[in-house]
């Protein structure tokens, strides 16, 4: 049995893919923001993607 504990994060991403869940990550260096969603409308998905990719909208306080 392989030890899966170090790969919890990757495993949760794999599970997210299997369940149809999407994960958005902020491209800003050092920013760990993630937004996960599932079964939203295309418009809502666009809004969430815009929010995740615009670091100024969630990275103001530091």
**53 secondary structure, DSSP code:** H
Do the Cβ atoms of 55 and 31 come closer than 8 Å?
A: yes
Find the shortest distance in angstroms from Cβ 31 to Zn ion.
3
Find the shortest distance in angstroms from Cβ 28 to Zn ion.
4
Find the shortest distance in angstroms from Cβ 51 to Zn ion.
10
What does each C-alpha distance from 38 to 1, 32, 49, 52 come to in angstroms? 31, 20, 13, 15
Using CB under 5 A, pick the residue from 11, 15, 31, 50 that binds Zn ion. 31
Binding site residues, Zn ion, CB under 5 A = 26, 28, 31, 33, 55, 59
């Amino acid at each position: 049995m392989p030890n899966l504990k170090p790969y919890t994060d990757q495993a949760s991403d794999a599970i997210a893919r299997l369940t149809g869940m999407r994960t958005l990550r902020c491209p800003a260096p050092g920013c760990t923001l993630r937004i996960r969603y599932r079964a939203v409308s295309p418009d809502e998905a666009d809004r969430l993607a815009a929010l995740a990719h615009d670091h100024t909208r969630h990275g103001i306080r530091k």
